[in-house]
Amino acid sequence: MKIADHAASRPGFIKLGCLGFFIAIALIWGGGQEVYTSLKNREPLKMSFKDYQEQRPTAEWVSLSGAQLNLLNCAYISSKVTGATEEVFIAVEAVGDRSKEPALVLLASKEKELIDVVDLMAAKMATIKSQADLTPELIQSLFPQREVTGVVRFGISEDSKTRDELAKLDLSLVKDFIIITEGEKPSLGVGAGMLAGGLFLGFLLLRGSGKEKAAPASPAPPDLPAIS
């Protein structure tokens, strides 16, 4: 979108137009959601993954014990430039669960160590030629135990495009699956700053728009005298 500079008519002012309002709305929405999440979740909800799966509490900040990752039920986002894996989405199960029920939770992680494990396991599985190659050690490594701690994605933090793409993949997921961003925690300070910034930007844009409407039109130039 083009940003028009009207410094000649209004010194020091950059007219953002619709883009400015979109930015202000995004800051207000995102900041308001972060403040809401921080006030509602002063501490992470701590419980076993099995109980979480059965009760489905409404808490956004969670710390779930007794969980394991299913590296056979995962997806990833890779860089368009380098092709390297940037983020992984891995189904979470209760420890020891070998049922084939669709997963409720996907763990989203950008942690390099976990990405390396996923890449390594994918490379190993690509070399499997028969059942005999599936050793007990390999099978166990496909289901690493891990405490799942992070924030449930919702509202503006949930990328609908990513969710739709995940739903289209050959993953075993329930229809209303949950994505937890690993390691994330709500921040009241960040949320308040975004909210204040959005409100201030919106005020400046509305004030500037009102002044433009109130400004008198420039007088028409006088008629030139006829040349006799």
Report domain extents, the chain. Answer: 4-36+187-213, 43-182
Give me 184's structure tokens: 């994330």
The pLDDT of residue 10 is 44
The pLDDT of residue 129 is 87
pTM for this one?
Answer: 0.72
Residue pLDDT tens, the chain, 228 long: 333 333 333 444 445 567 877 887 888 878 778 877 878 888 999 999 999 999 999 999 999 999 999 999 999 999 989 989 999 999 999 998 877 899 999 999 999 999 999 999 999 998 988 888 888 899 899 999 999 999 999 887 677 888 999 999 989 999 999 999 999 988 778 878 887 887 888 778 778 776 655 555 556 566 655 555
The pLDDT of residue 69 is 97
* Length of the chain in terms of residues written: 228
Query: In Å, what is the CA distance from 221 to each residue of 22, 25, 196, 216, 225?
Result: 38, 41, 45, 15, 12
The pLDDT of residue 216 is 58
Euclidean distance between CA atoms 160 and 27, whole angstroms: 18
